[in-house]
Structure 1
Amino acid sequence: MKRKHKKTIILYIFIVLLPTILGSYYLIHIQSQRKLDERMEEANWVAHIHASHWDKFISDTVTSLEVLSLAAKTLYTDLEDMQPLLERTNQSDPRYGGIYILSIDGQIITGSNKIFQKNAFFEIDIVQEVVRTKDIIISNKEFSLPNDQKVLALAVPILNDKNELIAVSMSLLRVDYVKNLLNVLTPGAQLLVLNANDEEVMGFNIKKDDPLDNDRWVSVPIDRIPWNLQVKVPEPDVRNTTMDYIFIIGAVLILTNILFLLIMYMLLRRQAALEKQENEVQKLELVGTLAASTAHEIRNPLTGIKGLVQLLGEKYDDPTDRLYFSVINKEIERINEIVGEFLILGKPTAQKMHAVDIAKVLNELQPLILSEATLNKIDLIYNPSEQPIFVKCTRDQMKQVILNITRNAFEAMENGGRLTIDLSKKNSTCELMISDTGVGIKDEVIEKIFTPFYTSKETGTGLGLVVCRRILHSFGGKIHITSKENKGTTVKITLPIAKTH
């Protein structure tokens, strides 16, 4: 009992616990990766949305400054006259913290407000970069105006018809306006704007201790300026993640337990079938031993009776007496047949088996089977193999099996019918099929037909099929019977092909 319990525990470990652990780990890994991909995709979408708005924001600003640059070219001789235009532009658009016209050495010529004094030098580095490149330049970081307002500087070159730099148009972009605009798009998103040197220009919802590793951030370039926009991949929701893990582990555990129960059920059925088969074998051996010993005890006095009957038959010549003696002899022969079945049912004596051509055996039995079929008004369909099929067995016992089965078929067709005998070779086995169109066998009866002494006939001994199976098993063969009530029965005999030299 302890051994069986230990075996069950080992099976549970290998069928339930280990697969649950490994399967849950694998499925959790897949689920985590899928969720991470979803968050990465979401972060990538946010990054592209913000990058697109940055591009539009810069494009609109540059367009506005280019319009002012055209006006500056027209008023080149007196750029101070542009102040009203700069003031109106600055007031009409909340993005601006100020708009200025600078000389090529960085000196303020005019502006939209008086935060800076006239002729003051302003953002020399940006102006020098515009002079060098004659291109649009944006400051690498935010800075504060005298009124503590944080801004970014965007400079656009003003060129004459000869493509010579004559001045610089510079707008101060309010950082708080940009932040509000981006925050409206995706509130709560954590993002950074980095300049060309990967230095932080501005950040949104960023904690100081957040590491900037590539696995947790999505980076998208801003087309109009040499900046990058980075969005942090959202952290997984702890509650939803926990529920997902619990569901996965629970589902795997349920499936593995169902599998365990199915395997245990199959093992129990297999064990029950083996025990039943073992019990049948033991019962058959016990019955066989008893039958064989009884048969020996019966055969000895029966031999004496048969001899005395023969002597009496020689002494009495009267026809009536001879009729009685013939009846007695027939009954003695019948008893001998039953005794012979008893002996086979017991442990059979060692017989010398040799390769026998089953096709030839069937041909030898054909006249006998045909005469009995004709007597019972039964059509016989005989399909023996044209090629010899050798099986290792004893010829007489093989004949006994075939005649026993055909006799049962004739008895099942009292009102006539059809008996079909087919012999064929399939791979390494010999297959003999004997089919009839008789009354058939009930389902509840067919399960008991190989039980010793069980019979559905009034005069049967219940040993015929048992003996047939015992003989065929001794040849290494099998017998299988299928039947449908009122339609007929098919007996399938399979035997291993003998190796002939």
Structure 2
Amino acid sequence: MNHVTPGPRGRILLVEDEPAIRRLFRHTYDEFDLMTASSVEEAIALLQEPEHGIGVLLADHYLPDGTGVDVLAWARQKAPQTVRLLTTSHAHLSQAMAAVNDGGIAGYILKPWQLEDLRQRLDEALRAFVSRQQELTLLEGKRSTLMTLASSIAHEMRTPLASIRMRAEAIAEHWPTLMGLYQDALRSGHLSGPLPRARRLDALRSSLDVIQQEVDHSNLVIDMLLASANAEKFDTATFAIHSARECVDEALAHFPFPLGLAERVTFCRHGDARFYGSDVLLTFVLYNLIKNACQAIQAAGKGRIHIHILQTRTGAALTISDSGSGIALETLPRIFDDFFTTRAVGTGVGLVFCRRAMLAMGGEIRCRSRHGHYTAFRLRWPVCQADDQ
């Protein structure tokens, strides 16, 4: 394993157990800033070093203590700015393609290597890494602006929303009395002129419920914006063991579904799973994923939402899938990037918040999708300490 000072374009780390291939790599591509590792453990140790400067991670498919997919999956969560490539054989091409479709890797390189083609791929990957680093510098400024804007919106909107809710609740409280007086006056003939129809009166009463629902929706949007803007400041001191099923029930009970979409949700309540983290954070994660699923169904004009919870010996898992519009293959690797969005009015902070929230709770979030057919987000947590005892 070689250590050199990282260049301005970033380092390239090859994870390969064959010494001859590592030597060939170092000799052929010595114009790059190279590092090599011979195992999953060694590669992860390098990636855990502060300021490792690794811009491109190229991992062989099969290694003595695991697979290149294992390394790349770890890097996806812990070093997401690194461009991740898998080198594999034709015999395992389907597995590599599945990893690309899952968003776990940026691409694959077939063995035996075409040396000049590989040189070009490495150069392109480094260029992508540098471009991403420049984007991240700009994103820091955007995130600071978003936090300021979110705080300002919360301050300016909370008070009028609270006033609207209070007044709507006051009218709703006195509505039966008012309607009783109206009916008495109607029966006694004290009312004259055009009178409102019964249907109009019923609509007025239901409008009070709509007002309160819209206030709740607006407050939820503000809460989600604040949570997304402050995604780096989770209070882990409040983390505890919670029920995933209770969080799903809470999210489904309070999410402001578009008309007719609540009936398209199927939640299997036969099981439950415990996770260590924050029930509030998970509820906000679910809000984001349900919102995305609803938008996908509306865009496709078809589909349903399925939610499933599973407790295994390795931890807890929760899946939210929809059979809506799906995600384009070229878009999938970037959906967890800061401020990346394909929607005209999107902010690109929702899935970023979801990923950071899951990482804060020691878990992960992954996405599988097929454009035009489905999207499935899978949340996973390790086994709770209490479950080990």
Q: TM-score, normalised by structure 1?
A: 0.40
Greater CA radius of gyration, 1 or 2? 1
**Which of structures 1 and 2 has the larger relative contact order (alpha carbons within 8 angstroms, sep 6+)?**
2
